[in-house]
Amino acid sequence: MTELNLDALKECTTCGEFKPYTEFYRAKQYKDGWRTQCKKCISEYNKLYRLANRKKLLEHYRFYRLTNKEQVAESQRLYQRANKEKVAESKRLYRFANKEKIAEYQRLYRLKIKRKGEDERR
Ligand SMILES: [Zn+2]
């Protein structure tokens, strides 16, 4: 393997700019050991890809969650434990942004309970 020359520049095949190697990702499968696109172009590409395939990706995640329930629950538990404050904050923000939705949900829930009680009395 050749030594990395930090002064050398590499041309990005997407934006055509010459950038230092620190702006590229390593990739064993390429013959010079580096990706041909710079980091910026790759993140741009990923962003566009996610946008264009949002539905497919959501579907994929949904399927993943269904088939890996235990792993997903476990990793959520670990995440929540490690990020207590962040999780609490995002819950707070969610409640704030969805006040009406939550109120409506609670109203329906109470109605359901009430009805259930009435059914049982009959
Ligand atoms: Zn580029």
Q: Which two tokens stand for residue 58?
A: 């959501």
Q: How far is the CA of 78 from the centre of ligand 1 (A)?
A: 37
The total number of structural domains that make up the chain: 1
pLDDT tens by residue, 16-42: 999 999 999 999 998 889 999 999 999
* Structural domain for 14, as ranges: 9-50
Report if residue 90 sits inside a domain: no
pTM over 0.75: no
Report if residue 33 sits inside a domain: yes
Q: How far is the CA of 61 from the centre of ligand 1 (A)?
A: 29
- Backbone φ, ψ for residue 3 (5° rounding): -65, 145
Report if residue 29 sits inside a domain: yes
Report if residue 46 sits inside a domain: yes
pLDDT at 5: 64
Report if residue 17 sits inside a domain: yes
pLDDT tens by residue, 59-84: 998 999 999 999 999 999 999 999 99
Q: How far is the CA of 54 from the centre of ligand 1 (A)?
A: 24
Report if residue 109 sits inside a domain: no
